[in-house]
Amino acid sequence: MLKNLIKLLHLRSEPDSSEESIPSAHAWWKEAVFYQSEKDLRLDYFEILGVDALIVDSVPQDMETDIKFISDYGTANADGFRLKIDINDPQMHTHLQGLYGDFLIAEVPEIDINLSRKLTDSYRNELNLIIKPPVPLAELKKFYIKHLNADHGHGWNTLTINKKDASTITIAKMLALLQFTLRGSPLIYQGEELGTEFSWEEADKQELDATSVLSFYRDLIALRRSAPALIYGALTFLNQKDTGFLNFSRILSMSGENFYIEANLRNKTQRSKAPDDAEFLLGNYGTTGGKEGKLRPYEARIYKL
């Protein structure tokens, strides 16, 4: 069976970015931060975290009046679709085009770039978003450069984290920083925002800790929401041959925003490549930006130019 219906809950009725600062082709799901929940829902928690849309199997009756079910942007009381598709089905594209009109997210196996483009190119009317399997840290840079460069102008993807790699708080924060600054819609699987298995006790504890993984996610969500360049800006990868160092820029010429992001993918100190006049905004080691000119193991930073 092609489709597996679940509820997509849209928590925000309008994008926060002004129409003057973003392209006319914007869509709420490009700006949204998605959250996939497997158990107990608590609306106040998701509001505190700042996510825009929830992917869930069912909704408690006492929450149904508080949340809109959506298909097309702005439409209430409809169902969203999350799909599991068979890429070997010769009628796959026909099936998807027949469903188009609702908001469609599909989980896909590892697929080649051409198929990814076909599924998400807007003119084909098939999918809005695809969820690809998480990529191991060792392959992260190669994957991002290959797929995000190729995807430019060809649809939109979700950005996910490989939980197996988030073995420490530092690495969990580094992966989150990349997830929220590359091109695509971040998708958080329940517990990733805590850097551990999910529990309400842990969530409540981290909410009060300004240095926690949860607080870092909240900072990233707020920054992305306030900066259209981190959503729509041109993505340019730098120093592409260095497999242990990932750095890139996000530039939105119409608003004049220019961000530089760098991440040390190795378990040893490396030299920072940030421009001298760059303004440090956020990093996974805290607010200071660390030792001048150095990136500590698995350190990642966001700068404004």
Tens of pLDDT, residue by residue over 149-163, are: 655 666 778 888 888
11 and 78 inside one domain: yes
274 and 240 inside one domain: yes
| CA pair distance 55, 211, nearest whole angstrom | 27
Asked which of 207, 232, 257 is the last residue of a domain, the reply is 232
Q: pLDDT at position 7, please?
A: 47
pLDDT in tens, 217-275: 999 999 999 999 999 999 999 988 888 999 999 999 988 999 999 999 999 999 999 99
297 and 174 inside one domain: no
Asked which of 181, 207, 232 is the last residue of a domain, the reply is 232
Q: How far apart are the first and last CA of the chain?
A: 49
CATH number of the domain where residue 226 is located: 3.20.20.80
Task: Assess contact for 222 and 213: CB atoms under 8 A.
Answer: no
Point out the least confidently predicted range of 41-50, 175-184, 193-202. 41-50
CATH number of the domain where residue 269 is located: 2.60.40.1180
| CA pair distance 39, 45, nearest whole angstrom | 13
69 and 175 inside one domain: yes
Asked which of 232, 256, 290 is the last residue of a domain, the reply is 232
Quote the percentage of the chain above a pLDDT of 90: 37
The CA–CA distances, whole Å, from 86 to 91, 105, 147, 179 equal 9, 14, 21, 27
pLDDT in tens, 3-20: 333 445 545 444 444 434
Q: What is the CA 223 to chain-centroid distance, rounded?
A: 13
91 and 182 inside one domain: yes
Q: Over range 58-74, report the average pLDDT.
A: 46
155 and 282 inside one domain: no
260 and 194 inside one domain: no
220 and 243 inside one domain: no
| CA pair distance 106, 169, nearest whole angstrom | 30
Q: pLDDT at position 21, please?
A: 40
The CA–CA distances, whole Å, from 128 to 74, 131, 228, 271 equal 15, 10, 19, 39
Which residue did the predictor score with more confidence, 62 or 284? Answer: 284
The CA–CA distances, whole Å, from 97 to 6, 119, 177, 252 equal 19, 10, 34, 32
265 and 217 inside one domain: no
293 and 211 inside one domain: no
- Total count of domains within the chain: 2
Residue 281: which domain range? 235-304
Q: What residues contact 32, with CB distance under 8 A and at least 6 apart?
A: 10, 12, 52, 53, 185
Given a cut of 80, whether residue 185 has pLDDT beyond it is yes
Q: pLDDT at position 8, please?
A: 53
205 and 92 inside one domain: yes
Q: pLDDT at position 154, please?
A: 66
Q: What is the CA 222 to chain-centroid distance, rounded?
A: 13
Q: What does pTM read for this prediction?
A: 0.84
Listed ranges 31-45, 199-213, 286-300; the one with the highest mean pLDDT: 199-213
240 and 216 inside one domain: no
DSSP-assigned beta bridge partners for residue 257:
252
Reported as a pLDDT band with limits 50, 70 and 90, residue 216 is very high
pLDDT in tens, 77-121: 334 555 566 777 788 788 777 766 656 777 777 777 778 777 878
| CA pair distance 102, 146, nearest whole angstrom | 30
| CA pair distance 121, 240, nearest whole angstrom | 26
